[in-house]
Amino acid sequence: MTHSPNPKLSPEKYARLKAEAQAPYKGLRKFIYLGLGASGFIGAIFFFIQLLAGRGSMAGLANFALQVGVVSLMIGLFRRESD
């Protein structure tokens, strides 16, 4: 167990503050990754439905691929942040 240099801090609080100092805004970054991933997923659904309906063109296929890429990137960043 890590001993805090300040006797007023509990060891648990000291460990939490030390982890936050080593990786600042970790929770915020994970929240942003989730939000952007969800946005990309919703966009991918819409473009996929357009492609299935036959209204999609090469631009629609490119947009669908872009949305899938965004979702993949956000999943990768979220997993890296969770390790």
pLDDT of residue 70: 97
Burial class of residue 4 (count of CB atoms within 10 Å of its CB; 0-12, 13-18, 19+): middle
Query: E strands within 1-83?
Result: none
Q: Model's pTM, two decimal places?
A: 0.74
pLDDT of residue 7: 73
| Gap between the Cα atoms of 83 and 71, Å rounded | 19
3-state secondary structure of 23: coil
Average pLDDT per consecutive 10 residues, the chain (83 residues; last block may be shorter): 68 84 88 97 96 87 96 96 84
pLDDT of residue 8: 81
